[in-house]
Amino acid sequence: MKFPKIDLDTLKNEGTESVTVKERRNFLKLGFAITGVYAGGKILSLSSTFGVAHASDGSDFVEKYPYNPHYSMVIRQSLCIDCEKCVDACNKTNHVPEYGYRTRILTRKYRGQLDKKIEFIPVLCNHCNDAPCVRACPTKATYKDAVTGIVRMESKKCIGCKTCMLACPYDARYFSAARRAVDKCDFCWEERLSKGETQTGCSSACPTGARTFGNLTDPENIVFKLVHQLEETVWVLRPEDGTKPNIYYMKGNMRSVDNILKGQKFKYSDPANS
Amino acid sequence: MTGIMVNISKRWGYHGVDALRKASPGYLMLLGAFALLAVAGAAVGLHGMIVGYHHVYGVSREVSWGILISAYVFCVVTSTGLCIISSIGHVFGGEAFMPIAKRAVFMSIIFMLGGFCIIFFDIENPFRMAIYNVISPNLSSNMWWMGTLYGAYLVFMVIEYYFLLEQNHSLSRLMGFFGLVVGIAAHSNLGAVFGMLHGRPFWYGPYLPIYFIFSAAMSGGCAIMFVTTLAWKINPEIMNQRMERAMKAICQVTIFLISTIIFFTIWKIVTGIVSHEKTIVIMSLVTGDYAINFWLFEVFLGMLLPLFLLIRSRGNNFNMIMWATGLMMVGIFFMRYDIVIPGQMVSVYHALGVEEARDLVKYTPSFHEIMAALFGLSVICFAYFAGEKMLNGHQLEKHEIVPEGGYICPGCGAIHFMEEGETVEDAMKRHHKIW
């Protein structure tokens, strides 16, 4: 490839006036695409597959979500009040013994912040698309459901080596003596979803809507709406592990969430209204 | 039947239960103590299995691998190491190393079996493993490869040992070669079981598979010197010129390998202190809860003291070698413990800054876990002491009096038998041909 020779030192500054709006827009677009900010690139980089787009690191070119229904949970962190109703519902629904848990709520304390001193972070199995536990299991006792993408257990195959418990970067697994196998969140597949319910135990028990469960491939679904927006930052836990998790986190303060759910335009993002 | 036994005794140097009857009362008491400890360990382990391990074991959801996995790693590292060191001689033809082959391969098998005894009480459903490892293999799992390859390794080592006893050096050499290849593959997979858990920064990376192989060779050198010098205490007649030469050679190799492991350890510490999650683990080893484990056992007993004593011994002071390597075995056990437990101390949510994951996760081995680990280790000790007597110190005959029709092979140091009408040269060619 030949490059034109340009002597940059003697080049005359043309100024920005002569740059057309279109050129300027293209230039900005290019920059956004590279940094991954453009069109929800932040999420693109976290989710393994997405609508037609480049993931921000440039390595994945993905067409669509790999599962249908692609179950996912969006946790609106600011709404969690640590009532633990989700944990109780989970324990009851899935017969979780007292020495174990499938989900829990972590506490982060702050000093010197003006608005909040404490924040609650519900955690559970992230049903990763590249699940380290599935790779580590010697007998395929844990596997990625080919239809729903739920990471499930086939208890009778579990030899109890506990490699999956250490492979999991989300501490989502424990050994259940009653099942004689490692137990974990299955998005209530066995107890609820397979019986026709549409919500998991924890999400239906949540009084504030901090846990929203749904199908990422359905544009009408709440999780789709919460993830596919630019106004609020959406993140995942431990993105550096490259596990492509399906539990998304956002602050979820009420006003912007209302806007999203009502499908309104963002008032403060429209310069004409300001 | 008696005829066969006599034949085996002559061919294999097998002295059987008779040799135990003739042993001194003190020796029998020692054997009895190990047998009792093994039975007690197995009983406590079975108790744990029946009531449920989560009631009696110290392992938790976060520290899921405890002293049992450490002890298992210790056993299989030593087993692989014995295979590596002995293969220098009877696989690759390093003459000086040849006399240790029989004892090393025997102990390698015993250490492997001891490791399996220990893992039996760690795995929750060991019986399922036998079935689903075969009918539902996950080829991307290091755990699967490790288990399968170690199974194959054990088979190769047993066949190799049989051919060593049978004086069939070409086949034993071939089997030894396969055993070595499979053993190294299995052992590096064990390193990768830890090294490929990318949520655990203390383990993650290519370091552990590589470290495990060098560490295995070091443990093997240490173990073979320890069991040989201990056997020399039991029966001074096992030591002869060829064995002395072998000890000297192994001593040199082990000094080199200890230095290598010191080098590995230094770089583990130095690279660890620049990354936060690793630093807290390293600091717990250097100045925290694990400082005694690290400095006293791993560094002093496991590396510096044996390095000093082995250099001082010049490879021919067997008392000094015995103490150096015996203490080193203890140090090596802690070396394994210091890999397995600290790797799990940092909660996966530590970086999130939450209250629940602020401190390092604690682990203390429970009585049941210690006993289950002692089960495997006493099986090894029992088999070793019984083997020294029953297998006549792994020699062919007492004083190595060459039996009729046999001769001491100048190449490998073993006793070969000539067939009728064969010259010594022909017999040697027959014993040492590759096919």
According to CATH, the superfamily of the domain at B24-395 is Formate dehydrogenase/DMSO reductase domain (1.20.1630.10)
Residue A11 lies in a domain: no
Sequence spans of domains, chain B: 24-395, 402-435
Same domain, A147 and A247: yes
- Same domain for A32 and A163, yes or no, is no
**Which residues on chain A are in Cβ contact (under 8 Å) with B276?**
none
Longest distance between any two alpha carbons in chain A, whole Å: 79
Across the interface, do B198 and A132 touch by the CB < 8 Å criterion?
A: yes
Q: CB–CB of B129 and A159 under 8 A?
A: yes
| Same domain as A71, residue A58 | no
How many contacts (CB atoms, under 8 Å) link A and B? 130
Q: 């007597």: which residue's tokens? A: B389
Q: What is the pLDDT of residue A49?
A: 43
Distance CA B224, CA B238 (A): 14
Let me know: does A144 contact A233? Beta carbons within 8 Å: no
CA closest to A242 among chain B residues: B198
Average pLDDT, chain B: 85
Q: Do A175 and A249 belong together in one domain?
A: yes
Say how many C-beta atoms besides its own lie within 10 A of residue A254's C-beta. Answer: 12
Q: Which of B61, B136, B348 sits opposite A157 (nearest CB)?
A: B136
pLDDT of residue A54: 37
Token pair belonging to B308: 């000093």
Smallest CA–CA distance from A141 into chain B, residue: B136
Question: Is there a single domain that holds both residue A71 and residue A130?
Answer: yes
Across the interface, do A106 and B349 touch by the CB < 8 Å criterion?
Answer: yes
Residue identified by tokens 């005894």 is: B117
CA distances from A67 to A70, A143, A153, B154 (A): 5, 14, 18, 43
Contact between B352 and A108 using a beta-carbon 8 Å cutoff: yes
Distance from CA of B118 to the nearest CA of A (A): 13
What are the chain B neighbours of A241 within 8 Å (beta carbons)? 198-199
Angle between helices B276-286 and B241-272 (to 10 degrees): 130
Instruction: Tell me the range of B99-103, B349-353, B373-377 where mean pLDDT is highest.
Output: B373-377
Condensed to tens digits (0 to 9), the pLDDT of residues A69-102 reads 889 999 988 888 888 889 999 999 999 998 889 9
B61:A100 CB<8 A: yes
Mean pLDDT computed over A58-69 = 64
**Six-digit token pair at B343?**
């790797």
Q: Do B123 and A161 touch (CB under 8 A)?
A: yes
Query: According to the model, what pLDDT value does residue A137 have?
Result: 92
Q: Is B417 left (phi over 0), alpha (psi -120 to 50) or beta?
A: beta
Render pLDDT for B300-338 as a digit per residue (tens, 0 to 9): 988 999 999 999 888 788 888 999 999 999 999 999 999
Answer yes or no: do A155 and A30 share one domain. no
Confidence of residue A44 (pLDDT cuts 50, 70, 90): very low
- In chain A, residues with a C-beta closer than 8 Å to the C-beta of B192 are none
The answer to whether the beta carbons of residues B38 and B377 sit under 8 Å apart is no
Q: Verify that A192 and A101 share a domain, yes or no.
A: yes
For residues A196 and A91, state if they share a domain. yes
Q: Kindly give the interhelix angle for B67-90 and B207-234, rounded to the nearest 10 degrees.
A: 70
- The pTM (predicted TM-score) of the whole model is 0.82
Q: What is the mean pLDDT of residues A241-248?
A: 88
Position A52 scores a pLDDT of 38
Is A132 in Cβ contact with B197 (below 8 Å)? yes
In which residue are the tokens 């069939």 written?
A: B168
Q: Are residues A109 and A204 in the same domain?
A: yes
Lowest-confidence region among A144-148, B411-415, B428-432: B411-415
Q: Which residues of A touch B355 (CB under 8 A)?
A: 106-109
Tokens representing B338 are 């210091």
A92 and A46: one domain? no
Confidence of residue A25 (pLDDT cuts 50, 70, 90): low
Tokens of B292: 């005694």
Query: Has residue A201 been placed in a domain?
Result: yes
Q: Which residues of A touch B144 (CB under 8 A)?
A: 138-139
Do the chains contact at B200 and A156, CB–CB below 8 Å?
no
**Min Cα–Cα distance to chain A from B333, Å:** 21
The CATH number for A250's domain is 3.30.70.20
Token look-up 């792994």 returns: B394
Q: Hey, are the CB atoms on B193 and A156 less than 8 Å from each other?
A: no
Q: Which of B321, B327, B319 is nearest to B301 (CA)?
A: B327
Angstroms from A157 CA to nearest CA on chain B? 6
Domain carrying residue A109? 65-267
Mean pLDDT of A53-60: 41
Handedness of CA B42, B43, B48, B49 (dihedral sign): positive
Does residue A254 surpass a pLDDT of 70?
Answer: no
Spell out which chain A residues touch chain B, with contact meaning CB-CB distance below 8 angstroms: 99-100, 104, 106-109, 121, 123, 132, 135-141, 156-163, 165-171, 173-175, 177, 180-181, 237-238, 241-242
B354: nearest CA in chain A?
A108
Of all residues in chain B, the one with the smallest CA distance to A178 is: B52
Residues ≥6 apart with Cβ < 8 Å to B203: B194, B195, B197, B339, B343
Contacts for A7 with CB less than 8 Å, ≥ 6 apart: none
Residue B390 binned pLDDT confidence (cut-offs 50, 70, 90): confident
| Alpha-carbon torsion (A115, A121, A122, A127), positive or negative | positive
Query: Which of A43, A64, A85 corresponds to the end of one domain?
Result: A64
Closest CA of chain B from A199, distance in Å: 27
Which of A12, A44, A64 marks a domain boundary? A64
Residues 6+ apart with CB under 8 A from B431: B167, B168, B169, B170, B409, B412, B416
Has residue B214 got a pLDDT over 90? yes
Mutate to test the interface with B, among A143, A159, A173 (most CBs of B within 10 A): A159
Three-state secondary structure along chain B?
Answer: CHHHHHHHHHHHCCCHHHHHHCCCHHHHHHHHHHHHHHHHHHHHHHHHHHHCHHHHCCCCCCCCCCHHHHHHHHHHHHHHHHHHHHHHHHCCCCHHHHHHHHHHHHHHHHHHHHHHHHHHCCCCCHHHHHHHHHHCCCCCCHHHHHHHHHHHHHHHHHHHHHHHHCCCHHHHHHHHHHHHHHHHHHHHHHHHHHHCCCCCCCCCCCHHHHHHHHHHHHHHHHHHHHHHHHHHHHCHHHCCHHHHHHHHHHHHHHHHHHHHHHHHHHHHHHHHCCCHHHHHHHHHHHCCCCHHHHHHHHHHHHHHHHHHHHHHHCCCCHHHHHHHHHHHHHHHHHHHHHHHCHHHCCCCCHHHCCHHHCCCCCCCCCHHHHHHHHHHHHHHHHHHHHHHHHCHHHCCCHHHCCCCCEEECCCCCCEEECCCCCCHHHHHHHHHCCC
- pLDDT greater than 50 at residue A148: yes
The answer to whether residue A47 sits within a structural domain is yes
Question: Residue B194 corresponds to which tokens in the numbers above?
Answer: 């830890």
Q: How many residues does chain A have?
A: 274
Can you tell me the distance from the alpha carbon of A148 to that of A71, in angstroms, rounded to the nearest whole number?
6
- CB contact burial A64-99 (16+ within 10 A = b; e otherwise): ebbbebbbbbbbbbbbbeeebbbbebbbebbebeee
Chain B nearest-CA residue for A100:
B61
Q: What is the pLDDT of residue A240?
A: 84
Closest-CA residue of B relative to A119 is: B354
Alpha-carbon distance B88 to B101, whole Å? 9
Contact list in B for residue A140 (CB cut-off 8 A) is 132, 136-138
- d(CA A139, nearest CA chain B) in Å: 5
Last residue of a domain, one of A64, A96, A117: A64
Please judge whether A140 and B353 are an interchain contact, meaning their C-beta atoms are less than 8 angstroms apart: no
Q: Is residue A60 domain-shared with residue A74, that is, in the same domain?
A: no
pLDDT at B411: 55
Asked if this assembly's ipTM is beyond 0.95, the reply is no
What's residue A270's pLDDT? 46
Return the amino acid letter for A231: E
* Most A-contacting residue of B72, B200, B348 (CB-CB within 10 A), to test interface: B348
- Please determine, for residue A3, whether its predicted confidence score (pLDDT) is greater than 50: yes
**Paired strand residues for A248:** A74
Cross-chain Cβ contact A159/B344 below 8 Å: no
Residues B94-112 have a mean pLDDT of 86
C-alpha–C-alpha distance, residues A64 and A44, integer Å? 11
Q: Are residues A54 and A105 in the same domain?
A: no
Do strands B415-417 and B406-408 pair parallel, antiparallel, or not at all (unpaired)? antiparallel
Which residue in the set A99, A160, A241 is minimally distant from B124, CB to CB? A160
Residues of chain A positioned with their CB less than 8 A from the CB of B137: 138-140
The owner of tokens 């909040």 is A116
pLDDT digits (tens, 9 = 90+) for B13-51: 667 777 777 778 888 888 899 999 999 999 988 888 888
**pLDDT (average), residues A8-16:** 69
Is B409 or A145 the better-scoring residue by pLDDT? A145
Per-residue model confidence (pLDDT) at position A36: 43
- Highest mean pLDDT out of B125-134, B154-163, B405-414: B154-163
DSSP for chain A reads -------GGGPPP--STTS-HHHHHHHHHHHHHHHT-GGGHHHHHHSS--SSEE-TTSS-EE-S-SSSS-EEEEEEGGG-----HHHHHHHHHHT--TT--S-EEEEEE-SS-SS-SEEEEEE-----TT-HHHHH-TTS-EEE-TTT--EEE-GGG-----HHHHH-TT--EEEETTTTEEEE--TTTTTTGGGT-SS-HHHHH-SSS-EEEEETT-TTSHHHHHHS-SSS-EE-S-GGG----SEEEE---HHHHHHHHHTPPPGGG-GGG-
Q: What's the distance, Cα to Cα, between the start and end of chain A in Å? A: 48
Residue A273 lies in a domain: no
- Find chain A residues with C-beta within 8 A of B140's C-beta: 135
Quickly state the pLDDT bin for B113 (edges 50, 70, 90): very high
